[in-house]
Structure 1
Amino acid sequence: MATFLHRLGLGSFRHRWAVTLVWLVVFVATGAGAATLSGTMATSFSIPGQESTTALDLIDERFGGGSGATAQVVVAAPDGATVSDPAVAAQITAYVQKLATLPGVVGASNPFDPQAPSVAPDRSAAYSTVSYGVPAPEITAEQREALLDAVAEARDGGLDTEVSGEASQESGADIGGPAEAIGVVVALLVLAVTYGSLIAAGMNLLTAIVGVGIGALGITTLSGFVDLQSTTPILAVMLGLAVGIDYTLFIVTRYRHELLHGRDPESATAMAVGTAGSAVVTAGITVVIALAGLAVAGIPFLTEMGIAAAATIVVAVLIAITLVPAVLGFIGRRALPRKLRAAGAVDPEEQGRPFYRAWANAVTRFRTLSLLAAVVVLGVVSIPFFSMQTTLIQTPPPGSTQERAQALIAEKFGPGFSGPLIVLVDGAGAGARATAIAGTFQGLDGVRFAAPSRVAEGDAAAMVTVVATSAPDSQETKDLVHDLRAAVDEAGDDRIYVTGQTAISVDVAEKLDEALPRYLVLVVGLALLLLVLVFRSLLVPVVGVLGFLLTIGSALGATTAVFQWGWLNELVNTEIEAPLLSLAPIIVIGILFGLAMDYQVFLVSRMHEAHAHGASPRDAVITGFKQAAPVVVAAATIMFAVFAGFVPEGNDTIKPIAFALAVGILFDAIIVRMIAVPAALGLLGRAAWWLPSWLRWLPVLDVEGAALERAVPAATVTETTETSPAATTPSSASSAQG
């Protein structure tokens, strides 16, 4: 692989105009596709084959689109009055009639309908269910704005009116807002400090943006042909931008190193791609496998998200090993700070990196204490993980009309009215069967109200509304879903289905909870196999995997404490204290696995190389740490900045995931890889690099390109002019490579 990548880097450098033009054409083509072929992305989560999803499909078929989006408009009577007072009742009736005429609305229920009244027991409030003919993602901004304006007008007219429900909330989230901008600005600053050159920093950032742009635009184009979740492009952008910057950083850092060791720009580029590029490809494959491995959960929308993000990583890797060497051909020695561009300048690495050497010395000297401290700190942070709860039901933003509506409904009617369960009775005689099953449900604990609500034409299907005594996202309501299904099984009627957003949330959450251990075993097994191949050792992979488990526990533990318990929520600009999104844990595990293995490969491979050259175990750890730690710190800082940028102003769905990834990167890079791993390797000594004889047949993965370095000796270059930094003839490059 190193030889192939060396040739690829050399070819990209020599044909830099053609390579750059090809990527530019790809970027423009995906942009045109996104502008003309994109479709609407989904915001609801469901799993084909689940009872709740099957019921929704049947409702659409039997009732002609009966599963369109809804909103609940709740009206409280003025002080000293009730909704039954003639004047108030007339005002509410007229208001409901107006709601039924809003754009996109197919009906608004009458709170005073004797067949299905929706008036509070003390007659202080009433609500109307506003139904749309399409799912929430297909409701236009104008239609949603018309609903909110109608609510505001009623409030101005003297009615205390609020609205909740999926039809009242914006669907999805936007890309290209302040979240991405914050991460990009911080990344540019870190790169400028790391390189000491704005030209190199700008090149690094520009190539990463091109890669993530192609990935995001490609996903947007694909949405016109495949049903994708609205979070899919955001996750791809978040991860693609981070790894795109980091992978370019690794290659450019090696390129600068080769320049300072006597190579001309052409041969330095080829060597950088052949050596650091090998590690980039290995790390990229690791991330891709981890993301594609999300398919093990057997959940289509999660599989699509993983594959889309993996495709963006593939683009980032291809950019790093083709476009980056092409751009290096344009900037040449200007990738170095001005004071280091002259021939014979001393590489800062040769000055010993005193801070990192002192760090490694301290960690390996007090290795037992260092390892114990790292494990205890991360263990304590992981404690909240064991009380983590998940749901698909999203809590509305504090102070919003949706929050006020839910509070008003919970106060006047009961918490279960904001998320009623729907029971579909399918088949002949549905009306009578619905009445019978509603009576059965009414006797169950946790049921406040159960009654038939709608019968299809020809009595072929009927719906029963069941209202719980508890909130939709509570454990009591989850238990009630199972109790309802158990009651149906006892009745022996296999054409009765429990559905609704609450039941869908329960089904998806349980499916994800079942898949999580299976996925964790997969990625841990993959990590062990990969690290055994890379380092030809058994104990180094064990140390790496145990460190990864500490990273996962602490990341999810901190996220639970902040978003579920409400600790330090001012720091992340949220007042919501609610269960995490059901798919957050498995996504966080998949992404952090790939990134943690990146750091393990880049850091420990340098230690392994030093040990292979004869250094003692402790000296090998110190030498490898001194060489690789500065780049890992810069990469982790960039990753942290990109993910953290999505937290203060990010979408409520993405915010907890971004927070988990940001703190996970921080814990993994600083505590696990820079304290726990060197301390553990120092404790293990020579045993760390031991490989049983029965495993020595395993192939050697030369991720550092050591064989290539031996085959292509360093060149001695003459003066290179700054006015033409890339001016290197093919003949001189060939002679430089020997």
Structure 2
Amino acid sequence: MASLLYRIGRFAYDRRWLVIALWVVIIAAVGGSAAAFHGTTTNTFQIPGTETQRMLDKLKADLPSSAGGNATLIFESPGSPFTDAQKKDLSAALEKIKGLDGVQGVTDPFATQAQLDGAAAQIADGQKQLAAAQAQLDAGKPQLDAAKAQLDASKAQLDAGQAQLDAQKQALAAQGLPAAAIAQATASAQAQLDAGRAQYDAGKAKYDAGAKQAADAAATITQKKADLALAQRQADASAGLRFVSTDNRAAIAPIQFTKSTDSLPASLRTQIQDIASSVDGVKGYASKELTQDINQIFGPAETIGVAVAALVLIVMLGTFVAAGLPLIMALVGVAVGVGGTFALTGVIEMSSVTPMLGLMLGLAVGIDYSLFILNRHRNQLLNGMDPRESVALAIGTSGTAVVFAGLTVVIALVALVVPGLPFLAVMGVAAAATVAVAVLIAITLLPAVLSLVGRRLVSKRRWARAAQQNAAPGHEAEEARADLDKSNRGWGAWVTRHPWIAVVASVLLLGALTIPAAQLRLALPDGGADPVDSTSFKAYDATGKYFGAGMTGPIVVVGEMPAGLDDTAAKVKELDVADQLRTVRGVVAAVPLALSPDHRTAVFRVIPTDGPASASTVQVVNDLRAQGPAIQSQTGVSIGLTGQTAANVDVTSKIADALPVYLAIVVGLSFLLLLLVFRSLLVPVLATAGFLLSLGAAFGSVVAVYQWGWLGPVFDITHPGPILSFMPILLIGILFGLAMDYQVFITSGIRESFAHGQEAHVAIRTGFHHAARVITAAAIIMVSVFAGFIFSHLTMVRPLGFGLALGVLLDAFVVRMTLVPAVMRLFGRAAWWLPRWLDRILPDLDIEGAKLERTTAAGQPRAEEEAEPVAG
């Protein structure tokens, strides 16, 4: 590997313009692609195959109007209730918003609240009318009953009279009288009976009409009772729901869009916010879905981090040319890596964190990798080495360490594919590609540019001092003695003289910082995590203050209804399900929201007690799902949950389940890589154990600051809460890769001294001395870059920036520069022990470049090389 990279370094040095031209073409191609093909990023995290995704797909098919994104506007009248004029103006403003392209619908809070408030009065009035109608019906019933009794008596009397007359006719006929005589004899009686029958029929008709009227009235009353019962159930379902606060000083207006909120154009977001804030005397706040700008990845806080890194480089390297090179290399890497990521956003759905993560890592590792090679080349120049040979040797030695350090980061990031979360896989691969680009730039573009810079890397004063030292007789032996003397002083020497103190102190410190990690709670952020002066936080705060925190994150329940229901039966089923949903603890309201035309799909809005990121809301989601079988058995309706709140719970759960597997894969693969690199069993074990300590300390500190609120004012945390759900898995992957970077850098220096024949304990000190300065600078630079993201405009990036900054700080200075050399000092030569059978089968990668220096001219410093300094 070292020989191959040595040849690459020579080629880039000799073919400088070709290499530079190729990178210019790559940058232009990537930039043009990003400008032409970029799409939008998203903050909606879905996992294919989950219940939330299946229900969302069902809504898109059955009820497209309910499948779009949602946002809310909060209006507040400070100091006094809304006036009639303000209500009118707000309703008019909402009508304007409703007419915008991309808006599906807007709820007018005043009209809706009036309906909700008037429902009780309407129900009470209806009940009074029903009571009066029932009383009137009941009052008329005795008359109907008496008429019926009289009719029955008349009919009985008529039937009896007719029977008696018929018997008389039969008797006369038996006596032999002719029919005419019989008819004449009974005519008067029959006429009297017929008149009575006619009178009875008239009375019967009148009674039937009255009975029918009473029956119709009874049916109407029954139907109205059923309608009132449904209205009462609807009112009960909405009892915990308000759109205008009880003091009439705040109103909330939900907005439904035709597509997801992440796909909304910036112009629509701006229009909505401008209209919402146009009413005099009313403050309008838009929720996070409308205010977040997820397409801007670089802000002032990140710029400060880069500025600090530049200052460190200037202090360390002494010239603007030398300090500028690592920054330029890092910016080129970011341009290619992040630009390529943006070019793919048009065809691949990406989280807004994806390009931000690439930017964060690209800057950090890009500066560090170039610095590591540049420092080696600079020292070799000062020792009199030919520039061409020095560049090639620096690429062959330090470049090899850079390649393997970068490879550990790439492995850790690409392993994010394993958990099976698409958004996380895209995030990891994109970030890994950016790191790979940084490595390629360090071993190709950097040597090409170094060939143009020449000796301007070093200041005139430093050149003069180096020339004087090189000209002194026996300077090489003197430098070796001075170098050994320096290695016996300083931090590395103290650690190796007091290894037990260093080990115990390091473990105690990291262990103490790890303690809060036991209470780590994960969730996706809501508006409460935003800065206190942001519109989204004000909207979140006002919503919770006036309407309850649950209104900031309603849960969407989708019901699959039985076939063959008419309108009334479907409505009854909806309310039956709503009643069951309200029995779940922590549910404030469960309201039927929409019904498909075929009555087969119903949508319910469930309002929990607390906000979407709270532990109680997570429990509500789980309890609602547990209630599903009971609801189906009692109502015949099967339910499923969707919406962002339920999706957040699913994402968090899925990531938590994937963490142990991911950690095992990353640690296992990197252990094998370190085994190959250092040909030692202790070094990979020590590297992994140290990483776990620094990881635990980083987790614990993140929990203390962002979940518990410690030092909240310092880090602009006004609403402590759960940690970003995918932050731990990203922190594991990134921090492990970066920890292995410093392990490779410092251990390769120790291994190089050991490979060149020094005793184990001496090699630790000299190797530490040679690497400490550049590793300190590199760590400070990386911490500065990550720390710049602690105050990022994307709040979900902030805890990641904090965790990485602190994790790198602890890992570099406590683990790699204290714990590792101390433990290696305790083990002595055994630190490099490897079973013979394993030593025979493992390839020798020569990461320290020992073989390379013995077989190339670069290994022989050329004292006769001209020492004429060039201004820098």
TM, length-normalised to structure 1: 0.92
Distance 1:317 1:234 in 2: 19
CA distance in 2, matches of 1:611, 1:255: 21
Q: Distance in 1 between matches of 2:533 and 2:329?
A: 41
| Counterpart-to-counterpart distance in 2, 1:91 and 1:118 | 20
Cα deviation for residue 328 of structure 1 reads: 1.1
1:422 aligned partner: 556
Q: 1:627 aligns with which of 760, 770, 787?
A: 770
The 1:121–1:145 alpha-carbon spacing in structure 2 relative to 1, beyond 3 Å, is: closer
Q: Secondary structure at the match of 1:458?
A: coil
Shift of 1:78: 7.7
SS at match of 1:72: strand
Alpha-carbon offset, residue 537 of structure 1: 1.8
1:6 CA drift (Å): 1.1
Q: Point out the more displaced range, 444-453 or 397-406.
A: 397-406
Distance of aligned partners of 1:393 and 1:179 in 2 relative to their CA distance in 1, 3 Å threshold? closer
Aligned residues: 721
Greater displacement, 443-452 / 682-691: 682-691
1:505-543 deviations in Å (ceiling 9; x for gaps): 100001111111111122222232222222222222221
Please name the residue that 1:709 is paired with: 853
Q: 1:500 aligns with which of 623, 636, 643?
A: 643
Equivalences for 1:256-267 in 2 at 5 Å?
256-267=378-389
- 2:576 maps to which residue? 436
Displacement of 1:148 after TM fit? Answer: 2.1
| Deviating more after overlay: 432-441 vs 368-377 | 432-441
Letter in 1 for 2:820: V
**Partner of residue 202, structure 2:** none
2:183 maps to which residue?
none
Structure (1 or 2) with the larger CA radius of gyration: 2
Bigger Cα displacement from structure 2, 504-513 vs 374-383: 374-383
**SS at 1:451 equivalent:** strand
5 Å-filtered alignment, 1:101-112, equals: 101-102=99-100, 104-111=102-109, 112=111
Equivalence for 1:516: 659
The one of 71, 95, 98 aligned to 1:97: 95
Distance in 2 (CA, whole Å) between partners of 1:497 and 1:576 is: 31
Match of 1:165 among 275, 279, 287: 287
Which SS does the other structure have where 2:710 is aligned?
coil
Q: 1:720 to 1:136 in 2, by over 3 A?
A: farther
Closer/same/farther in 2, CA of residues 103 and 364 from structure 1, 3 Å limit: same
Cα deviation, 1:130-172, whole Å, max 9, x if unaligned, reads 2222211222233222222233223x24x4x543434422241
Instruction: For residue 243 of structure 1, report the CA deviation from its aligned partner.
Output: 0.7
* Structure-2 residue corresponding to 1:364: 496
> What is the aligned counterpart of 1:454 among 591, 594, 601?
594
Amino acid at match of 1:448: V
Retained in 1: the 8 A contact 2:587–2:608?
Answer: yes
Instruction: Give the corresponding residue for 1:376.
Output: 508
Deviation at 1:665, TM superposition (A): 0.9
Contact 1:392 1:509 in 2 (8 A): yes
**Cα separation, partners in 2 of 1:121 and 1:573, compared to 1, 3 Å:** closer
Question: Within 5 A, what are the aligned runs for 1:572-587?
Answer: 572-587=715-730
1: distance between equivalents of 2:813 and 2:806?
A: 10
**Alignment partner, residue 670 of structure 1:** 813
- State the Cα distance separating 1:52 from its structure 2 match: 0.9
Following superposition of structure 1 onto structure 2, how do residues 182-221 of structure 1 map, counting pairs within 5 Å?
Answer: 182-221=304-343
Summarize the alignment of residues 297-308 of structure 1 with structure 2, pairs less than 5 Å apart.
Answer: 297-308=419-430
Counterparts of residues 50-61 of structure 1 (less than 5 Å): 50-61=50-61
Q: Letter of the 2:551 partner, please give it.
A: F
Cα contact 2:291–2:535 (8 A) shared by 1: no
Q: 1:463 aligns with which of 599, 603, 608?
A: 603
Question: What SS class does the counterpart of residue 507 from structure 1 fall into?
Answer: helix
1-side partners of 2:36 and 2:578: how far apart?
A: 49
What letter is aligned with 1:421?
A: I
Ranges in structure 1 where 5+ consecutive residues have no aligned partner: 727-738
Match of 1:145 among 270, 275, 286: 270
What residue is the counterpart of 1:555 in the other structure? 698
Paired with 2:66 and 2:385, the residues of 1 have a C-alpha distance of: 70
Equivalents in 2 of 1:494, 1:620: separation in Å? 73
Separation in structure 2 between the aligned mates of residue 76 and residue 199 of structure 1, nearest angstrom: 56
CA distance in 1, matches of 2:725, 2:714: 23
Q: 1:231 aligns with which of 353, 374, 396?
A: 353
Q: Distance in 2 between matches of 1:245 and 1:389?
A: 34
CA distance in 2, matches of 1:339, 1:581: 50
- Under a length normalisation based on structure 2, what TM-score does the superposition of the two structures give? 0.78
**Distance in 1 (alpha carbons) for counterparts of 2:242 and 2:554:** 13
The residue number in structure 2 matching 1:315 is 437
Does 1:328 pair with 2:450? yes
Deviation at 1:668? 0.7
Deviations 1:678-723 (A, max 9, x none): 1111222232222233422222221111111111141526454769
Deviation at 1:86, TM superposition (A): 7.0
Show CA shifts across 1:469-509 (max 9, x none). 22221111111111111111334468521112111110000
Between 280-289 and 64-73, report the one with greater CA deviation.
Answer: 64-73
1-structure distance, mates of 2:413, 2:361: 11
**TM-aligned CA distance change 1:403 to 1:14, over 3 Å:** closer
CA distance in 2, matches of 1:716, 1:404: 68
Structure 2 vs 1, CA of residues 201 and 141 (structure 1 numbering), >3 Å: closer, same or farther? same
Native 8 Å contact 2:514 2:696 kept in 1: yes
Structure 2: gaps of 5 or more residues = 116-233, 471-475
1:178 and 1:96 mapped to 2: Cα distance?
A: 35
How far does the alpha carbon of each residue in 1:605-638 deviate from its partner, in whole angstroms, 9 at most, with x for none? 2222323344333212111111111111111011
Preserved CA contact (<8 Å) 1:431 1:459:
no
Contact 2:459/2:871 (8 A) holds in 1: no
Aligned partners of 2:363, 2:32: CA distance in 1, in Å? 21
Per the alignment, do residues 78 and 556 of structure 1 end up closer, same or farther by CA in structure 2, a change over 3 Å counting?
A: closer
- 2: CA distance between counterparts of 1:293 and 1:104? 39
The aligned residue for residue 824 of structure 2 is: 681
- Backbone CA RMSD of aligned residues: 2.6
Shift of 1:417: 1.9
CA distance 1:76–1:270, shift in 2 (3 Å):
closer
- 1:292 corresponds to which letter in structure 2? V
Pair 118,695 (structure 1): closer, same or farther in 2 beyond 3 Å: same
Task: After superposing the two structures, state which structure 1 stretch, 218-227 or 423-432, moved more.
Answer: 423-432
Query: What's the CA shift string for 1:101-123, capped at 9, x where partnerless?
Result: 34542211233344777445846
